[in-house]
Every structure is written in C-alpha cells, then in structure tokens.
Amino acid sequence: MTTTLEADVDWKRVCAVDEIPVLGSRVVNSQAHGSIAIFRNGDGEVFALRDRCPHKAGPLSQGIVHGKTVTCPLHSWKIQLEDGQAIAPDVGCTKHFPCKVEDGAVFLQL
Amino acid sequence: MRKLKLVMVGNGMAGVRTLEELRKISPDMYDITVFGAEPHPNYNRILLSPVLAGEMTIQDIILNDLQWYADNEISLHLGKKITHINRTQRKVVAEDGTEAEYDRLLLATGSNPFMPPIPGKDLPGVISYRDIKDTDDMIDAAARYKHAVVIGAGLLGLEAANGLALRGMDVTVVHIADWIMERQLDRTAGKMLESALAKKGMKFALNKQTAELVAGESGRVCAVRFKDGETIPADLVCIAAGIRPNVELAEKAGIHCDRGIVVNDTMQTYDPRVYAVGECANHRGIAYGLVAPLFEQAKVCANHLAMFGIGRYQGSVTSTKLKVTGIDVFSCGNFSGGEGTEDIVLHDPGAGVYKRVVLKGDKIEGAVLYGDTKDGSWYFQMLKDGQDVREIRDHLLFGNSHLGDAGHKGANSAATMPDEAEVCGCNGVCKGTIVKAIKEHGLFSLEDVRKHTKASSSCGSCTGLVEQILASTVGGAYTPADSSSKAICGCTDLSHGDVRKAIREQKILSAQEAIATLGWKTPNGCATCRPGLNYYCLSTWPHEAHDDPQSRFINERAHANIQKDGTYSVVPRMWGGLTTPDELRAIADAAEKYKVPTVKVTGGQRIDLLGVKKEDLPNMWSDFAQAGMVSGHAYGKSLRTVKTCVGAEHCRFGTQRSMDMGVKLEKMLFGMWSPHKVKLAVSGCPRNCAEAGIKDVGVIGVDSGYEIYVAGNGGIKTEVAEFLCKVKSDEEVMEYSGAFIQLYREEAYYLDRTCHYVQRVGLDYIKEKVVNDEANRKALYERLLFALQDYKDPWIEHAETPELRRQFENISV
C-alpha cells in the first residue's frame, strides 16, 4: 500500500507515531490551516483537529484525551476526536482532517 | 443476534428513567415495549399540584413526549392496563387482550392511593388525588360545586386543598392527627403552616375521624359526618390518606410481595427475569416515594438490565424539602427528638421562620425548618456525613455562609429572585436560564444542571443557590447527593474514599492500572477522574508509582499556567518571598529576551511573567536555571508559596525570624504534590503581616515560640484558619506542619483544600493524629520527607531531556 501513498500527493507525513504520546497530542503548524492538533488515543488511533475549541478558542492539543474525546483545557468542553463536534449539551464544531497511521508513521490529509 | 425483549409495565417517572439510563449505556440490547394504564406519556407527577392550581398545563409537565418514545424505538401502549403476567410463557396480557413476550420484565407500577374503609367512599364525587384524571375531575368539580372536603393533611392533601381553594371552592381539610403534615413537621411547624393556610381561607377540622360520607338526593356525596356526630357539607371529597405500593399484578403472578414488590440491591425481584423500580418496589423494607431515591434505583436497574453487573442500590436516607402552597418547609432525620437528644431552636413567629435542629451528642440527628429552608441541604449533608458539629454549634442555626460569597447574601431565597438575577458569577448564568434548562430537559440533579447550564461548574461558590433553585423548580424531587459516597465521575460508581482505599490495599501504581483493575466503565477514564487517580497513586506509593503526564492537567504537564489565549505564565520560585539583584536581573533579562508582554507581582510574593509562548518555555527555564532559579509550581496542585513578613530580622516588633522560618518550610516542601494547592505563611509577631490566618498552614511567631494554625483559605470561600497547637522551636514547626500536610495528602479527596478536608474529619481528629499522638506525628513527618526526597526541579529536567522537550516543539509541514 505504500506505493499508493506516494502517488497520493494529498497525504503528508507528519512524524513517527511514537513521537506522539499515547493519550497525548502534538501540534502541527500548517501554512494554510494554522495550528492542527494530532491526537493519539489508547487504541493507537490518530485524529487531527483544528487546534481551536469552538467555545473560546482554547488549544485542544493541550487537553486530556480519553476514549475518542478530548477535554478542552480552558473550560472543559468535550470535543469528539472523529468529527470535531462538541458533546451535548454543548454545541459547536471544530474542523477535522483525515489522518492515519501507516508503517509507524502518521499521515495527514490537508 | 436476536435482540432481547424488555417489557415494562407502568409508564411513570422511575420506569421511564430506567429506560433512559438503559438506552444511554446499552442502546441496542433490547426491543422495548411499554404498557401504561394512563392515556398519557410520562409526566412529572410532582407537578400535578401546579396544574390543579392553574399555574401550569398538562403540556408543561410532560417529561417524555410521544416523539421521544418513537426516537428511542420504544413500542408504547397507552391506556392499556396489564392484568396478567404469565411467567412460564414469559408474557404479559393487557385488559383488551394485547400480549407481549419478554426476556426481561420491568415492573414500575407505582402506587395506588389508600382508600380508608369509610362508608360512602364509592359515591360519585369522592375521588383520590393521584393522576391527571383525578386532577381533571377536581378542576371540573371546582367549576360546578361549592363545598370541598379533603381528607388527610399530608403534602398531597394540602396541595389539593390549596388548588381547590384557588379555584374558588370552600375547602375544609380533615385530619386525624393533632397537627397537619405530622410525618414531615413537628407540632410547632405544623401549627405555623396551619395558621398560614387558614389565612388563605382554608378551614381545618383536626383530630377528627370520618364516620361516613353521606349521599344527597342526586346520589352524589353531599356531606361528611364525623364520629363525634358533627356534619359538614361536601360536594366534592378528595381522599388523600396516603399511598400504597401497587402490587396487585405482581402478587397475582406469585412474585413475592410484602408492602411492595420485594427486590434485592440490584432491583431484581424473586423471579430473576423480573425487575421492579419505583414506588411499587420494597427495598430492604422501604418503599420510597421521593424521586431522588427512585432515580438512583433506575440507574442501578438499568445497569443490571444492560448486564454490566456493576452497582448496588443500598437504600437512601431521605429528606423532605417541600413547597407547600408556596411556603417552604424542610425536614430530615429524626426531627422530633427523644431521649438523649437536645434541640436548638430559633422561632420567629412574626417573620414566619422556625428552625429546629436536633442533636445527639455532637452530631445532627434531624432538623425541621419552616419558612427559611435554604440551609436544609447543609444540615442534611452533615447528618448523612455524621459530621461533628460541636465547634459550629453556636452559629448552627444561622446557616452556612455558602450563599453569601458570590454577592448574594443569604437574604435572597431562590424563589423570590428575579429571573435575570445572576446566580453563577463565573459563567454568567442567570436564574431564568437555570429554571428554563431544568424544565426543558427535565433535570433533577446538580450534576445535570452543571452540564446543561455551566452554573456552579467552575468555582462552585453558588452551589447552594443552584441547589435551592433546583429544589424550588422540581418540588420535592430534589435530594442532595451524599458527598462521602458520591461517585468520582461518570466513569465509575466508586467514591474518592473507595478508590483511595483500593489503591492502598491493592498497591495500584498508575492511573491506567486503577482504571483497568477497578472496573472503570470507560477505557481511559476522563479529565475529571484521571488526574485524581494519578495523584492518589503518587501520594500513596511515592517513588514507586508511575507519574503519567497525560493524566495531569495541562498546567502540571507543561509546568506553566495556561492562559486564555493559549500562552503560558512563568513564575520562578522566590524562597519565602526573598530575592536578590541577580535574580531580578535574570527575570528582567528573560522578560526582554522572550518579549514577555506582562510582568506582575503576585499575591504570593513573587514575580509572574505572563504571555509566554509554549515553544519558548524550555529555553526560558534554561536561562533561569543558569541564574540558580527553579520552578515556583504556581501551576500545580502542589506547594505554592510560603508568604513571610520581615520578622525579627529587621522589624522592631518582630519576635521570631519569620523569613528564615518561611524559607526553611518552603525548602522542605519543595516539589510536593497535593490534593489541591497548598499555601503557607509565617508571621514574626501576632500583628500577623503575612496574613497567616487564611492559609492552609499559618505560623505566627510569639515571644515564647510559634502558634500553628491550619485549614484557612483566602479564596472562593474565606475561611479563618483554626488553632492547632503552640510549639517552641523551628524544628517543631517543621515537624507539626509537615505532619498535618502529610495527613491531608494521604486522606483528603482530590481537589479538596485543607479547609474542606478538616471540615470533613473535624479538627479534633487532626489534633489527635498530629498533636497528641507523638509517634504518629513523627511517622507522618517521616513519610512526607521520604516522599519529597531526591525531587528534581522539573524545569531543568524538561529543558535538558529531549523526550520531555518534545511536547514544547511543534511540527511543520
């Protein structure tokens, strides 16, 4: 499958998956999209969200990751990692980006 | 796989709440069928009184509309009464022949009004007061007739009488006891309520037994005759003589009943396929009638229906907080007193206030409040926690200052507050918003209100007020939770105490291990429980536990304070508030080099550099390390500062060298993690310029030594520190304060300040462990020193270790 990766210019290699702590995150600076938070959960899955809470723009990358959710460090809104939606009763959404792990590396589609 | 079939008989509050809980945790396990005898979806029965009084409509009190049943794929049979359970074929049969098979059956048949065997009780015009139909009948009768008699002066009877009076009827309340609501109120409060209601035009016939309900010419009831021969006119008789669990169906099916359907702690009946919740169930001999215990039952039952097998219902201690026709009354526990009890009473008939707290020894045994009930939940909490109240006895009746701190001094009782009054100052939430959320979403607990409105979810100082609003909006449905047994968060049913104990006994060494071994419902816990677990492991097993950075709040992970714009603040330590020209130069250099926008002197006698970019933190720390400065831990649940006055070193009044003492204490406690932040102060004389009276540990120098004060707090709720003991030497100050802090570290619940902890266990307990028991004190002190030995400054560590630095570096694409 690695050959298709190279053919697909949209996918960008970000870092080795081990460079993101389990239940933690890293921040990617993108010219076009600003700061993007890459999360790694307990099951080894990775997710990418714009690093801005829909509530008061808190940096989600600095939150606590649990399940498929991150809790914003500023006012504890809970944001779903898969789609960037806030968990009810809060309402709001932050942009999410396709993200995957292949051969121990994290790829992001911008 | 075939879905299991769940049938519920009864469509009331407890049953439907069980289904809600079940759908939440296991949405696809069951095909659910519900039979309700009434033609309405689930409604809030407690609010029937406002409907009768004309303040609300039926539509207002619906909790789950038909759309909810459709959305949750629940087949709903309204107006169909189940008459038969066939347990061998596992099906239920309704009056009209409708059948439904089940794998699990949930009985939530509620209760029936108790009809005393009075001749004439079946006459037209004689009704009970239980459901929407009864309410409609009463509204209808009020429009056509004049005289109403209500038999029974419990809450329901009085509410009915009030509603009928408001609808223009001439109402007499008949009661067998000497005073009204004798189950909830003592004589004084009962008499006060009676005279208040009499002023509204209600008449009372107390100490009366009804002999007969007399029929008129039309065959409808026309009068009530008492045993003493007196007769009063009655076109409508409402019997409100109590309720009885509705067990007819279960009994007929041979399920063991005894004043209710008998259930075990998992809400299972004697037939393992059959569960029962709500007013129909008898749990450990009690059939509950209040909403809060029923909702607890619902939660446990749903968990077992979902086959999670976690959670037991162990019974509830209940309190009654009611609004009887607009008058607040509250009672809990044994409020009548008796042998070995003492009463503390405040009675102001003019103002319509009566408070009576019954004590046994140093503990609250019960309380009854009339007119002013805002402290009811506080008394109840102390009753349940078995708190020692000896020290607050002299001002017990004046309530806790809980409500006063956020600007609304006790005078505001929730009910009279205007809708636009701000309740939660942190999140800007008004009373109207809270009331609206409670009504629209059918909220019953403080936790729910916090989730939906954010009120009381930040500093918590408005908690008492929010509880009051909740109580006045949902009526008697609200019961405050018991703090000692409250689950840490939604991830578990275990309380902080349970978890601390398990971590100690099972030698659990990391948050993740705790989550795995203690049966957490979520794979990694959440932002509430994980930091607590991490702390409990670290404090219980120092040098052995694994400190998980991902289980720490960002401030402790990044060793700096996150600000609203995502930048950080950096506070280098200044031991005892002392600094040098070199240190100040290093701070000034760093402020310029990293373009720090704001430099501020803090309340803890040091300097805060605000607005630092995360990427700059490690370099800034390296610069400080070069100047010999270390982390101030201004960001952690940890030792913050030891504030000092100038003391005997310079001050002409100083009796002790307070700066020296402060530096020694701060060095001793450097790097200490704790349940919450810890602040100390040392003053050199009783003028107390270091403000030691509002610190977790305050030391005041006197000519003959030092006085040690503990558990003060200058923040959310100002608490004056309490005198612990007097000591002679510097070494003793270190030993006593160290031992106190270690006790707090070992026993307090995460996020409790020392004042909360000491309130929970009592100062006497602290004195016993720290002052009187020398061996224990020395052992505590030893354990503290052991836990803190070899602590490395986290700033230097993070600046020098590449793996630790990584979190501060961004990736570019």
Does residue B566 belong to the interface with chain A, where contact is any CB pair within 8 Å? yes
Per-residue burial over B687-718, b if 16 or more Cβ lie within 10 Å, else e, is ebbbbbbbbbbbbbbeeebbbbbbbbbbeebe
Written as six digits, the tokens of B289 are 């009638």
Give the separation between CA B311 and CA B265, rounded to whole angstroms.
Answer: 9
Chain A residue with minimal CA distance to B452?
Answer: A89
Which of B255, B279, B305 marks a domain boundary? B305
Q: What angle do CA B13, B19, B20 make, to 5 degrees?
A: 85
Q: First and final CA of chain A: distance in angstroms?
A: 20
Q: pLDDT per residue over B447-468, tens digit each?
A: 888 888 888 877 777 877 888 7
Q: Are residues B668 and B738 in the same domain?
A: yes
Q: Do A35 and B810 touch (CB under 8 A)?
A: yes
B457 neighbourhood in chain A, CB within 8 Å: 76
Q: Are residues B324 and B286 in the same domain?
A: no
What is the value of ipTM here, to two decimals? 0.91
CATH code of the domain in which B617 resides? 3.90.480.10
Which of B191, B209, B241 marks a domain boundary? B241
Q: Are residues B546 and B569 in the same domain?
A: no
Q: Are residues B709 and B781 in the same domain?
A: yes
In the A/B pair of chains, how many CB contacts fall below 8 A? 88
φ, ψ (nearest 5 deg) of residue B123: -65, 155
Q: Which is nearest to B181 in space by CA: B152, B207, B201?
A: B152
Is the residue at B633 inside a domain?
no
Smallest Cβ–Cβ distance between A42 and the set B458, B524, B557 belongs to B524
Q: How many domains does chain B have?
A: 7
Q: Are residues B107 and B255 in the same domain?
A: yes
CATH code of the domain in which B456 resides? 1.10.10.1100
Give the mutation candidate from B452, B807, B808 for the A interface (greatest A CB count, under 10 A).
B807
Q: Do B812 and A26 touch (CB under 8 A)?
A: no
Q: Are residues B15 and B152 in the same domain?
A: no
Does residue A87 belong to the interface with chain B, where contact is any CB pair within 8 Å? no
Q: How far is CA B394 from CA A36, B15, B349, B389, B713, in A?
A: 58, 45, 21, 9, 21
Q: pLDDT per residue over B388-421, tens digit each?
A: 888 888 888 887 654 433 333 343 467 677 788 8
Does residue B428 belong to the interface with chain A, where contact is any CB pair within 8 Å? no
- Cβ distance B130 to B52 under 8 Å? no
pLDDT (0 to 100) of residue B760: 86
Chain B residue with minimal CA distance to A20?
Answer: B807
Q: Are residues B176 and B220 in the same domain?
A: yes
Smallest Cβ–Cβ distance between B554 and the set A41, A62, A110 belongs to A62
Q: Do B550 and A110 touch (CB under 8 A)?
A: no
Q: Do B812 and A29 touch (CB under 8 A)?
A: yes
**pLDDT above 90 covers what percent of chain B?**
69
Per-residue burial over B787-813, b if 16 or more Cβ lie within 10 Å, else e, is bbeeeebbbbebbeeeeeebbbeebee
Does residue A61 belong to the interface with chain B, where contact is any CB pair within 8 Å? no
Q: Are residues B722 and B621 in the same domain?
A: no
Does residue B807 belong to the interface with chain A, where contact is any CB pair within 8 Å? yes
pLDDT (0 to 100) of residue B405: 38
Give the mutation candidate from B424, B554, B812 for the A interface (greatest A CB count, under 10 A).
B554
Alpha helices in B107-213 (DSSP H): 132-144, 155-166, 187-199
B811 neighbourhood in chain A, CB within 8 Å: 14-15, 26-29, 38
pLDDT (0 to 100) of residue B386: 83
A89 neighbourhood in chain B, CB within 8 Å: 441, 451-452
CATH code of the domain in which A8 resides? 2.102.10.10
Confidence of residue B483 (pLDDT cuts 50, 70, 90): low
Chain A residue with minimal CA distance to B525?
Answer: A66
Q: Are residues B218 and B249 in the same domain?
A: no
- Judged against a pLDDT cut of 80, whether residue B255 lies above it is answered with yes
pLDDT (0 to 100) of residue B220: 93
Q: Do B811 and A74 touch (CB under 8 A)?
A: no
Q: Do A66 and B524 touch (CB under 8 A)?
A: yes
pLDDT (0 to 100) of residue B406: 37
Q: Do B523 and A14 touch (CB under 8 A)?
A: no
Among B8-17, B619-628, B708-717, the minimum mean pLDDT is found in B708-717
- Judged against a pLDDT cut of 50, whether residue A23 lies above it is answered with yes
Return the CA Rg of chain B. Answer: 31
Q: Do B524 and A67 touch (CB under 8 A)?
A: yes
Does residue B686 belong to the interface with chain A, where contact is any CB pair within 8 Å? no
A74 neighbourhood in chain B, CB within 8 Å: 562, 564
Q: Are residues B463 and B516 in the same domain?
A: no
Q: CB neighbours (10 Å) of residue A11?
A: 18
The residue with greater pLDDT, B485 or B371, is: B371
Q: pLDDT per residue over B69-103, tens digit each?
A: 999 999 999 999 999 999 999 999 999 999 999 99
The stretch B685-692 carries a mean pLDDT of 95
pLDDT (0 to 100) of residue B687: 94
Model pTM score: 0.67
Does residue A56 belong to the interface with chain B, where contact is any CB pair within 8 Å? yes
- Which of B334-343, B481-490, B692-701 reaches the highest mean pLDDT? B692-701
CATH code of the domain in which B663 resides? 3.30.413.10
Is the residue at B634 inside a domain?
no
Q: Are residues B644 and B742 in the same domain?
A: yes
* DSSP string over B403-420: GTTTT--TT--GGGS-TT
Is the residue at B805 inside a domain?
no
Respond yes or no on whether the N-terminal peptide bond of residue A89 is cis (omega within 30° of 0): yes
**How close A7 comes to chain B (CA, Å)?**
18
Does residue B68 belong to the interface with chain A, where contact is any CB pair within 8 Å? no
**Residues in Cβ contact with B476 at an 8 Å cutoff, skipping those fewer than 6 apart:** B46, B155, B290, B291, B320, B321, B322
Q: Which is nearest to B794 in space by CA: B676, B669, B622?
A: B622
Is the residue at B665 inside a domain?
yes
Give the separation between CA B49 and CA B135, rounded to whole angstroms.
Answer: 8
Give the mutation candidate from B451, B803, B810 for the A interface (greatest A CB count, under 10 A).
B810
Q: How many domains does chain A have?
A: 1
Q: Which residue has the tokens 């065997």?
A: B117
B534 neighbourhood in chain A, CB within 8 Å: none
Type of residue numbered B691: E
Q: What range defines the domain where residue A48 resides? A: 2-109
Smallest Cβ–Cβ distance between B452 and the set A12, A42, A89 belongs to A89
Q: What range defines the domain where residue B350 resides? A: 319-399
Is the residue at B795 inside a domain?
no
Is the residue at B159 inside a domain?
yes
Q: Are residues B572 and B619 in the same domain?
A: yes
Is the residue at B273 inside a domain?
yes
